Structure 1
Amino acid sequence: MNIDHLLQTIPADAVYGLVGLVVGIESLGIPLPGEVVLVAASVLSSRGGSQLTPHGIAIGAILGAVIGDSIGYAIGRRYGDRLFRLLARRFPRHVNDDVVAYAEHVFQRYGVLAVFFGRFVALLRIFAGPLSGMLRLSYPKFLAANVLGAICWAGGTTYAVYYAGRAAEAYLKNFSYAGLALAVILGILASTVLRRRLERNVEAFAASRRAEKDNPSTAPA
C-alpha cells in the first residue's frame, strides 16, 4: 500500500495527526520520510472534493516538527553520543561517524542558523534537535529557530504543493497528468542534486578529518 492510498483511507483528523507524528518522529533523529508524507497529504488536499485542508496539514506538521525537535533536544542533551551510537547501529545507511561529524561541524559553526536552515535539508532535519541538545545550544534560541524553521518549512511546503495542485487541476485539465508528472520529475531531480551535493560535502569533510588525523601538523592552529 503506498502513502497516497493510505492517506485516502483514513479520516481527515487522523491524516493531520499522522503527518504530525511522522514529522515529529523524524525530528527525534529517526530517519522516517516526513517530507514525503507531508507532500502526499498536501497533494491530496488540493484535489476537488477532498476533506483535507492545507491549514490542518500545515498545523499538524508544524506541531510535529516543534515537539519532535524539542524532545530530540532533551534526549541529545541527556544522552549525547550514546544516542548517535544507537542510531548508527539501527540505521547505518543514514547515521554513521562521517555523517554525524559533518552535521556536528555544521551546527558548531552556524549555531541556531543551522537549526533554522537545517529544517529544509533531510540530513540536518534529522539531527537538529539531538545535536543541538548535545552541543548545549541555548534552548530559548533553539526553540525560536525551531519554531520559525518549522513554520517556513512545513507551512511553505504545504501551501506551495496545495496551490500547485489546484492550479494543475484548474488550468491544465487534459494536460494535468503531464504537468504533475513534470513537477514530480523536477522535484526528484532537485532532491537528488541536493542529496548528492550533501554527500560530497560529507565525503570531503571526512577526508579532511582523516588527513588531519594522519598528519596532525597540517591541522589548523
Structure 2
Amino acid sequence: MHFVEGLLDGLPPLVVYLVVGAVIAVESMGIPLPGEVVLVSASLMAASKIVSPLGVAVGASLGAIVGDSIGYTIGRRGGRPLLERLGRRFPKHLGPKHLAKAEQTFDRWGVWAVFFGRFVALLRILAGPLAGALKVPYPRFLVANAAGGILWAGGTTYAIYHVGRVAEKWLKGFSWVALVVAVLFGLGTTLYIKRRIAKSAAEIDGDGPADNG
C-alpha cells in the first residue's frame, strides 16, 4: 500500500487519474494487477487534498468499464482456449481451479456475476474475458459491467475519502497516525461493502434460477 502510494505521490493529478484508470483497465482485461490497492491509495491521496476524489472515481470507473469491455472482446474471440492459456501463464491467479470457480459462479448467477464480480478479486479479473468466452450478450454485459464498475469505483473512493478526512480532522498534527487509521477504516469499509454484496448475491441466488442470458 505505502509502496504504491509512494509511486503516485508527486505525480500531477491528471496523471494519477490516468494511472488509476490504466491499472484497473489492464486488471479488468484479465491481467492480475493490484487495481484495488491503487484505487485505495489514490483515495487516500484525495483525502489529503492532493487529488480530487471525483477525478479518482471517474478514472477508476472508466478504467473498469473500458477494461472489462476489452476483456469481453478478447474472451469472445479467443474463447476458452485463451482462458486456459492465461491460466498456464498466471497459475497462481488464473489456474484451472480459479477458472472452474469463476465458471461455476457464472452458471449460478448469470449476468449478475459481472455486476457482483467487480467486488471480488478473482471475478474482477475474469468477469470480462469469461463473459465473452461464454457468449453473454454484450448489451446485457455492458449494463451490468457499467453499474458494477461505477458502484465499486465510486463507493470505494468516497468511502475511503470521507473516512480519511474525518481521521485527519480528529488527529490533526499526527499525520502518520491519521494515515494508519484511514487505511484500517478504509479496508474495513471495503470488506463491509464486499460482505453486503456477497450477502445480496446469495439472496438473489436463492430466489430462483439464474438468468444465464
The bucket for the TM-score relative to the shorter chain is 0.7 to 0.9
Letter in 2 for 1:99: H
Q: Would the aligned equivalents of 2:44 and 2:182 in 1 still touch at CA under 8 Å?
A: no
**For each residue in 1:176-212, what CA deviation from the matched residue of structure 2 results, as whole angstroms up to 9, or x when unmatched?**
6445434534637x86xx8xxx9xxxxxxxxxxxxxx
Q: Which residue of 2 aligns with 1:25?
A: 26
Partner of 1:219: none
The answer for the alignment partner of 2:207 in structure 1 is none
Structure 2 SS opposite 1:2: helix
RMSD value, Cα = 2.2
* Aligned pairs (5 A) from 1:1-221: 2-48=3-49, 50=50, 52-173=51-172, 177-178=176-177, 180-182=179-181, 184-185=183-184, 187=187
Residue deviations 1:65-110, cap 9 Å, x none? 0000001001111101222222122211111111101100101221
Alpha-carbon distance, 1:8 to partner: 1.1
CA distance in 2, matches of 1:146, 1:39: 20
What SS is found at the alignment partner of 1:137?
Answer: coil
Change (3 A) 1:73 1:92: same
Distance 1:171 1:185, change over 3 A: closer
SS of aligned partner of 2:171:
helix
Quick check: 1:108–1:135 contact (8 Å CA) kept in 2? no
1:88–1:96 CA contact under 8 A, matched in 2: yes
**Count of aligned residue pairs for this structure pair:** 191
Runs of 4+ in 1 over 3 A off after TM superposition: 174-180, 182-186
Q: Is the 8 A contact 2:117 2:123 kept in 1?
A: yes
**Runs of 5+ unmatched residues, structure 2:** 199-213
The question of whether the paired residues in 1 share the 8 Å contact of 2:87 and 2:95 is answered with: yes
Q: Does the aligned pair in 2 maintain the 1:29–1:72 contact within 8 Å?
A: yes
TM-score by length of structure 2 reads 0.83
**Would the aligned equivalents of 1:168 and 1:176 in 2 still touch at CA under 8 Å?**
no
Q: Which secondary structure state, in structure 2, belongs to the residue aligned with residue 81 of structure 1? A: helix
- Contact between 1:54 and 1:158, CA under 8 Å: does it hold in 2? yes
Larger radius of gyration: 1
